[in-house]
Amino acid sequence: MDKGRPILLSIILLLSSALLVVRCQSDVTSLRQDAVALYYARVSNLTRIFSHEMSSQANRCIVDPKTDFNMAFNYSSNLEFLATCMESQGDVSLRLCTAAEIKLYLNNVFKKANSGSISSLISNRNCNFSTWLPGCEPGWACEIDPTVNVDLQNSEKIPSRTVSCQACCEGFFCPQGLTCMMPCPLGAYCPRAVLNRTTSICEPYQYQPPVGHPNHTCGGANIWADVDSSEEIFCAEGSYCPTTVDKEPCGSGYMDFFLP
C-alpha cells in the first residue's frame, strides 16, 4: 500500500470537516440574520406606534413626523443590539410593549406638564397596589404567555404579561410600573445598569434594586422622556453614540455639546 495514501486521506477528511464547519457556521449566520430581520420588523411596527402616539400628543413640537421617526428609530444600519437581546432572552416580541402600554406610558409622561413630575407608578393590570411583579421594577420586563395571541396594535387593552421576568435588554428601556420593553431612540445610550455598592444606585440610571430582594439585579434603562426627567439616558457631552448601546469619546479637534 502506498504510504502516502493515509496522509492524503487524512488531509481530505480534515478539509471536508473544515468545509462542513464553515457551511454550518454560514447556515447559523443565515438563520440568525433571518431571525433578527423578523424581530426588527416587529420592533419597527412598535416604533411606528410609538411615533404615532407621540405625534398625536406633541403635534405642536413635531413638524415632520416621518423624518423625525427615521432619525429616532431607524436602526437598520446596525441591528446588533437586537441580535444580542434575542440571543439572551429568546422571543423578543413577547416582551415588546403593545400600543396600549405605549399610550399609557406617554400619557404619564405628558402629565408632567400639569404635575411637574413623572409618576413612578403607572397602575395597570400587571402592576398595581395589589400585584407587583419583578418586571414592574424599573429596568425589568416580563413576557406574555406564548400561547396567547396578542395584537401589538391594540391601543385599548393591556395584555397580561407576567412570566419569565428578566432585566431589560440593552438598547431598550423598561419603565417602572410596566412589564414591557420599548426601544431607546437613536441618540440615547441604554446599556445594562451596574450597581454602585456605595450608593446602591443602578448606574448610569437613578433607580435602586428593590429592598429585601437580594437576587433582583440592576436591569436596563428605565425611562425616556424630556432631558430634565431623563438626562442620564441621553448621550453624554464629550461623547457620541453611534448606536444605543455604544458610547465613544469625541476625538481631538471635534466639539460636542449637549442639546437639551
- Per-residue confidence (pLDDT) for residue 227, from 0 to 100: 59
- Does residue 239 surpass a pLDDT of 50? yes
- Does residue 3 surpass a pLDDT of 90? no
- Does residue 66 surpass a pLDDT of 80? no
**In-domain check, residue 48:** yes
190 band by pLDDT with thresholds 50, 70 and 90: very high
168 within 8 A of 219, measured Cβ to Cβ: yes
- What distance in Å separates the CA atoms of residue 155 and residue 100, rounded to the nearest whole number? 4
**In-domain check, residue 89:** yes
Place of cell 446602591: 200
- What distance in Å separates the CA atoms of residue 250 and residue 99, rounded to the nearest whole number? 37
**In-domain check, residue 255:** no
**In-domain check, residue 259:** no
- Per-residue confidence (pLDDT) for residue 228, from 0 to 100: 61
φ, ψ of residue 132 in degrees (nearest 5):
-140, 100
Task: Work out how many domains the chain is built from and give that number.
Answer: 1
Q: What is the mean pLDDT of the chain?
A: 78
**In-domain check, residue 110:** yes
Q: What is the mean pLDDT of residues 186-209?
A: 93
Using one digit for the tens of pLDDT, what is the confidence trace for 146-159?
898 888 888 889 99
**In-domain check, residue 254:** no
Q: Using CA atoms of 243, 245, 248, 250 in order, give the dihedral in degrees to the nearest 10.
A: 50
DSSP string, the chain: --THHHHHHHHHHHHHHHHHHHHHHHHHHHHHHHHHHHHHHHHHHHHHHHHHHHHHH-TTT-S-HHHHHHHHH--TT--HHHHHHHHHHS-GGGTBPPHHHHHHHHHHHHTHHHHSS--S----SSBSSS-B-GGGSTTEEEEE-TTS---TT-SS-PPPEEEEEEEPPTTEE--TT---BEEPPBTB--PPPEEETTTTEEETTTB-PPTT-TT----SB-----HHHHGGGBPPTTEEEEETTEEEEPPTT-------
Q: What is the mean pLDDT of residues 168-184?
A: 93
Using one digit for the tens of pLDDT, what is the confidence trace for 8-26?
444 433 434 333 333 333 3
- Does residue 172 surpass a pLDDT of 60? yes
Domain that holds residue 148: 4-249
**In-domain check, residue 127:** yes
b/e string for 88-97 if b means 16 or more Cβ within 10 A? ebeebbbbbb
**In-domain check, residue 257:** no
